[in-house]
Amino acid sequence: MNQASDQARPTPRAGIMDIEAYVPGKSTAPAGVAKVHKLSSNENPLGPSPKAIEAARDVAAKLDIYPDGTARRLREAIAEVHGLNPANIVCSNGSDEILGLLAQTYLAPGDEAVITEHAFMVYKIYIQSAGAVPVSVQETNERADVDAILAAVTPRTRIIFLANPNNPTGTYLPFQEVRRLHAGLPRNVLLVLDGAYAEYVRRNDYEAGVELVAGAENVVMTRTFSKLGLGGARIGWMYAPMHIIDAINRVRGPFNVNATAIEAGIAAIRDRAHVERSVAHNETWLSWVSEELTKLGLRVTPSVGNFVLIHFPEDKKHSAAAADDYLSARGYILRRVSGYGFPNALRMSVGTEEANRGVVAALTTFLKS
């Protein structure tokens, strides 16, 4: 584009058009498929809490009223369940919003932020949006490598984004490794612990980050309601030191969590029975799916989330792309993860019993073809 045409219309600032847009998992099957099992977005196969549905319905007659801009009652419910001070919590339109606000607030053009090679793609997008430089470091056995992250830190580093567990691999760092990472960082570098899948982890050496945040000035923990049944409501939150809470509250939207989401979120987080059912279902079927797929000769990255990363053979006939087409034609929608550095793998959310058994049966036939 020449200079004259550049001046003929508004143009994004330098770097914006270099950002690769986020592409969510597909949700539809080819025409003619009778029943669709969406296993591409790590949603809760048990659906939302019935109490959350009821609470959302009760808001319908009051949609003319602005929500509480501080989401005070939602913050209090989160604090009650997790044993936190509500003053150290900010709620958001999904945890994605918080991640973006952190990048906007703590990154300037030319700064660096460190991510791991198979990290959630949104980190890179927000880093670039702030005009900063994403620094990707290699993982070891598809797991974050603390030494590699520390080696990537320079005087220009301002943020470390660490998903724990990670998406799309499902791997995690034991908390002692997270502590070792934090201990090796300069005090002016912010460690962002993204615990989107924390509820599903059942490991004695895992901790989402509450204790570390409570004792440090440069650590925050982000969480979401999405993976336990409220993906459509878009509710996220952050637990952080007060100086970070103060900064984020200055830049977030004044009513960034809508009234329906606030009420649904309050009901959902207090419905511990539904949370426990969701976690128990996942624990049962995560193990089953992983074992059954392994029996088929497929490599499955060990996962502690509510999904598995399935690696396919190198031959074109049985590649991930071929498997994706085969499954989609039968109503099983998985997630292609080429953009995450896995061109020959699919990510499968743990679904209902029907969906889980159906995928395994379909892949059994596919691999024999």
- The CATH number covering residue 349 comes to 3.90.1150.10
Whether residue 158 contacts residue 190, with contact meaning beta carbons closer than 8 Å, is answered with yes
- Domain presence at residue 64: yes
In the prediction, which pLDDT does 2 show?
55
In the prediction, which pLDDT does 178 show?
98
Domain extent, residue 25, equals: 14-47+273-368
Examine the domain organization and report whether 82 and 222 are in the same domain: yes
pLDDT digits (tens, 9 = 90+) for 13-65: 889 999 988 888 888 888 888 899 999 999 999 999 999 999 999 999 999 99
Whether residue 246 contacts residue 89, with contact meaning beta carbons closer than 8 Å, is answered with no
Mean pLDDT, rounded, of the chain: 96
In the prediction, which pLDDT does 324 show?
97
What distances in angstroms separate CA 123 from CA 1, 21, 103, 196, one per listed residue? 29, 12, 9, 13
Examine the domain organization and report whether 203 and 305 are in the same domain: no
Dist. CA 317–CA 239, nearest whole Å = 47
- CB-count burial class (<10 Å; 0-12, 13-18, 19+) for 40: buried
- Domain presence at residue 3: no
> H helices within the chain, ranges in order?
3-6, 50-59, 72-82, 94-106, 121-129, 146-152, 175-183, 210-214, 242-251, 259-270, 272-295, 320-328, 353-368
Maximum distance among all Cα pairs of the chain, rounded to whole angstroms: 63
Q: Which residues contact 243 (CB under 8 A, 6 or more apart)?
A: 217
Examine the domain organization and report whether 341 and 223 are in the same domain: no
Whether residue 130 contacts residue 104, with contact meaning beta carbons closer than 8 Å, is answered with yes
Q: Which residues contact 122 (CB under 8 A, 6 or more apart)?
A: 22, 96, 99, 100
Examine the domain organization and report whether 26 and 60 are in the same domain: no
Tokens 């296993």 locate to 39
Tokens 């900064």 locate to 247
Examine the domain organization and report whether 43 and 188 are in the same domain: no
Dist. CA 197–CA 224, nearest whole Å = 8
Q: What is the CATH number of the domain that holds 161?
A: 3.40.640.10
In the prediction, which pLDDT does 3 show?
56
Dist. CA 351–CA 46, nearest whole Å = 8
DSSP for 261-292, written as a single string: HHHHHHHHHH-HHHHHHHHHHHHHHHHHHHHH
94: nearest Cα among 250, 258, 244, 272:
258
| Dihedral pair phi/psi, residue 115, rounded to 5° | -135, 165
DSSP for 42-111, written as a single string: ---TT-S-HHHHHHHHHHGGGTTSPPPTT-HHHHHHHHHHHT--GGGEEEESHHHHHHHHHHHHH--TT-
Q: 88 pLDDT band (50/70/90 cuts)?
A: very high
- Final residue in a domain of this structure, among 270, 295, 310: 270
What distances in angstroms separate CA 111 from CA 20, 67, 128, 273, one per listed residue? 19, 36, 10, 45
Structural domain count, the chain = 2
pLDDT digits (tens, 9 = 90+) for 195-253: 999 999 999 999 999 999 999 999 999 999 998 899 999 999 999 999 999 999 999 99
> Who wins on pLDDT, 5 or 22?
22
Neighbours of 254 (CB within 10 A): 9
Examine the domain organization and report whether 37 and 132 are in the same domain: no
- Final residue in a domain of this structure, among 270, 290, 311: 270
Examine the domain organization and report whether 260 and 324 are in the same domain: no
Dist. CA 358–CA 317, nearest whole Å = 21
Mean pLDDT of the region 77-105: 98
- Final residue in a domain of this structure, among 241, 270, 299: 270
Whether residue 114 contacts residue 149, with contact meaning beta carbons closer than 8 Å, is answered with yes
Tokens of 236: 């996220």
262: nearest Cα among 228, 222, 225, 229:
225
- Domain presence at residue 166: yes
Beta pairing, strands 236-239 & 89-92: antiparallel
> Who wins on pLDDT, 31 or 331?
331
- Domain presence at residue 165: yes
Examine the domain organization and report whether 135 and 22 are in the same domain: no
In the prediction, which pLDDT does 32 show?
84
